[in-house]
């Protein structure tokens, strides 16, 4: 019942050869293939990463992207995927719905994206609280400004945490 989670865990543990063996056994339409391919991307498969990024770049930035597709990009822990999410954080969009029920005003998807990338980027400018699974900040607007400033000043690849799932 938990085959997808096992496959993704194998990818995070860099078990490339077993994943390739599973993929070789998948027939057309096998629902395991997508998870195996994600696991292989996490292991560093560049052609599959290019295919994934092509598909992700076609998706609009909105709630569906943030909740369904951005976690996939975080999972694979590849510089290209994380850099794309950081590029999206820099956008001045208002495409995501507000999580609070008090208002229906749309807000920037960047708030949720920075919450997704914070735990996987070493030296992220806003601390991540693993107990609450939230950014450790009382002011999200100021935090977003700091994160955008940090992104604009970064040179080279980001140090990604691969010691966590």
How far apart CA 134 and CA 37 sit, in angstroms, is: 29
CA distances from 72 to 91, 113, 153 (A): 20, 12, 26
The label of the residue with tokens 């194998």 reads: 10
In this structure, what token pair is assigned to residue 108?
């920037």
Spatial contact of 161 and 122, defined as CB atoms under 8 Å apart: yes
Tell me the β-bridge partners of 107.
96
Tell me the β-bridge partners of 134.
129
SS3 helix, strand, coil % of the chain, rounded to 5?
Answer: 55, 5, 40
Task: Tell me what pLDDT residue 98 has.
Answer: 81
In this structure, what token pair is assigned to residue 54?
């092509």
Query: What pLDDT tens digit does each residue of the chain (165 aa) get?
Result: 789 999 999 999 999 999 999 999 988 888 889 999 999 999 999 999 999 999 999 999 999 999 999 999 999 999 999 999 999 999 998 899 887 656 678 889 999 999 999 999 999 999 999 898 899 999 999 999 999 999 999 876 789 999 988
Q: What is the model's pTM? A: 0.92
How far apart CA 121 and CA 89 sit, in angstroms, is: 14
Task: Tell me what pLDDT residue 165 has.
Answer: 85
């Amino acid at each position: 019942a938990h085959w997808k989670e096992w496959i993704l865990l194998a990818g995070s543990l860099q078990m490339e050869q077993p994943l390739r063996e599973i993929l070789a056994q998948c027939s057309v339409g096998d629902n395991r293939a997508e998870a195996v391919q994600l696991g292989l991307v996490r292991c560093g498969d560049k052609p599959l990463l290019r295919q994934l990024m092509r598909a992700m770049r076609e998706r609009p930035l909105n709630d569906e992207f943030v909740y369904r597709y951005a976690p996939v990009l975080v999972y694979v822990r590849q510089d290209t995927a994380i850099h794309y999410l950081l590029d999206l954080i820099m956008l001045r969009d208002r495409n995501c719905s507000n999580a609070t029920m008090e208002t229906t005003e749309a807000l920037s998807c960047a708030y949720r994206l920075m919450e997704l990338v914070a735990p996987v980027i070493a030296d992220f400018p806003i601390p991540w609280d693993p107990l609450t699974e939230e950014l450790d900040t009382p002011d999200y607007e100021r935090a977003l400004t700091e994160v955008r400033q940090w992104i604009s000043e970064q040179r080279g690849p980001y140090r990604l945490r691969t010691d966590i799932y």
